[in-house]
Structure 1
Amino acid sequence: MQKNKFLLTGLFLIALVVLYYSFFDGGNMTSADGLDESVNPVTYRQQLDAARTKKDQFFRTDSESPIKDKATFAGLRYFSPDPAYRVIARLEPFADKTQKLVVRMSDGNEEVYDKFAHAVFSLNGETCRLLVVKLENTYSILFRDATSGKETYGGGRYLELDPDKLTTNRAILDFNTAYNPYCVYNSGYSCPLPPTENTLPIAVKAGEKYIAHE
């Protein structure tokens, strides 16, 4: 069983996230701590579409792609870009910076992550709270929601946070960038499963959908 390239995938996604945010910084309102409060819906959707096209190209051509049959790969499927799923979250850091989270992997093994903070935010009229974990310099949220096992992968999806856009008490969560782990596309990979507390009761109709590739 090949270990999931979670960190590699995270770094690739972070590069795309940085691309989004650097694009949005120009001409948009920012808060006192420098986080973007708003985006232009048209340019926002254009930038997301461009990043998704770039990821399809990566999956179709790169040697690090989890796709086995690249010749028949028709591209990933997504919910339509929706700025409403880009939210500012309040961070509640852990007083004890040494706290760890043992994460169960899809192959039965375990990995250990640092507990970074809880992110508290409002989405679809509901107050939500998700645990943010850290592995080296990758800040991630592993989560499930009401679409899991239906429109999206039942094992949950991942959301990366741009380290350069984190402050001591706030962060941007863009669920339009939520993505599936590699084990969705290739059973040779093992992937981290979201902790129980990271199950949202609402449907997050944003980001990557589920489609079988094997």
Structure 2
Amino acid sequence: MLKNRFLLGGLALLLVVVLYYAFFDNGTSADGLAAITDPRAYQQQMDTARSEKDRSLRTSADSPLPDKANFKGLVYFKPDLTYRVTARLEPFADKTQKLVVRMSDGSEEVYEKFAHVVFSLNGETCRLLVVKFDDTYSILFRDVTSGKETYGGGRYLELAPSDMIDNRAILDFNKAYNPYCAYNPSYACPLPPAENTLKTAVNAGERYVAHD
């Protein structure tokens, strides 16, 4: 059983680089966080990053796809800035707090509890736990779409250091993506903690169809 933490492997590293630069916004808000000043350019950047991810899944030796030749591309919700929100960042005062995360194969791994983010989405007040593994800050979450329009095992959202300034963080759910086990059951992936189940639908980011 192969382990897939958040972004383990050469393909994942490529995606980090692509997403970071493709989504590097062209403005700064009053709180110092990146701002969207051109929604059309944002959608073009998103489309480019998604096309590059498809190319990587189809060609990379690190791709989890068992049948890359017949891969026709991932399915996404249309980019929607409604799902790019500013959250209140609540870091843990005790930096030694850990979270035991259950993996999809029944095993467990331990991650660092970094912070909670509190935000409003679809009229709901939401609170999610951010965990840290090495230098990666991640949110593992489920929502109302999980097991229906999106992967039942949950999706992941990465936070770059530039997304977190003082007590604020940018959460862009248009970047939410599936773990490797969504494509190939031979991978073991971290499952979202119970507290990271949203009571609203996140109609943004990667959707799910089976890839044989």
Compute the TM-score of the two structures, normalised by the length of structure 2. 0.94
Verify the 8 A CA contact 1:13 1:160 in the aligned structure 2.
Answer: no
Shift of 1:36: 2.3
Partner in structure 2 of residue 18 of structure 1: 20
1:194-213 equivalence runs, <5 A: 194-213=192-211
Post-superposition shift, 1:16?
3.0
2:185 partner amino acid: S
Partner amino acid, structure 1, of 2:100: V
Whether 2:8 is the aligned partner of 1:8: answer: yes
Q: Write the distance in 2 (CA, Å) between the matches of 1:95 and 1:159.
A: 23
- 1:21-170 map, 5 Å: 21-22=23-24, 24-25=25-26, 28-32=27-31, 34-170=32-168
Amino acid at match of 1:15: V
Q: Is the 8 A contact 2:145 2:202 kept in 1?
A: yes
5+ long unaligned stretches in structure 1: none
Aligned residues: 210
Q: CA deviation at 1:164?
A: 2.9
State the SS of the aligned residue for 1:7: coil
Partner SS state of residue 211, structure 1: coil
Gaps of 5+ in 2: none
Whether 2:174 is the aligned partner of 1:176: answer: yes
User: For the residues of structure 2 that align with 1:160 and 1:12, how far apart are their CA atoms?
Assistant: 14
Q: How many Å separate the matches in 2 of 1:76 and 1:65? A: 13
Report the residue type matching 2:139 in the other structure. I
- Contact kept, 8 Å, 2:34 with 2:163, in 1: the verdict is no
How many percent of aligned residue pairs carry the same amino acid?
A: 65
1:63-104 Cα shifts (integer Å, max 9, x gaps): 000011111000000000111111111100101000000000
1:8-41 deviation line (CA, Å, top 9, x unaligned) = 265444323321342x13xx34223x20243321
SS of alignment partner, residue 41 of structure 2: helix
Classify the secondary structure of the residue corresponding to 2:42: helix
Aligned equivalents of 2:149, 2:208: Cα separation in 1: 6
- In 2, the alpha carbon distance for the partners of 1:16 and 1:91 equals 25
SS of 1:197 mapped into structure 2: helix
RMSD (Å), alpha carbons: 1.4
Separation of aligned partners in 1, 2:117 and 2:161? 14
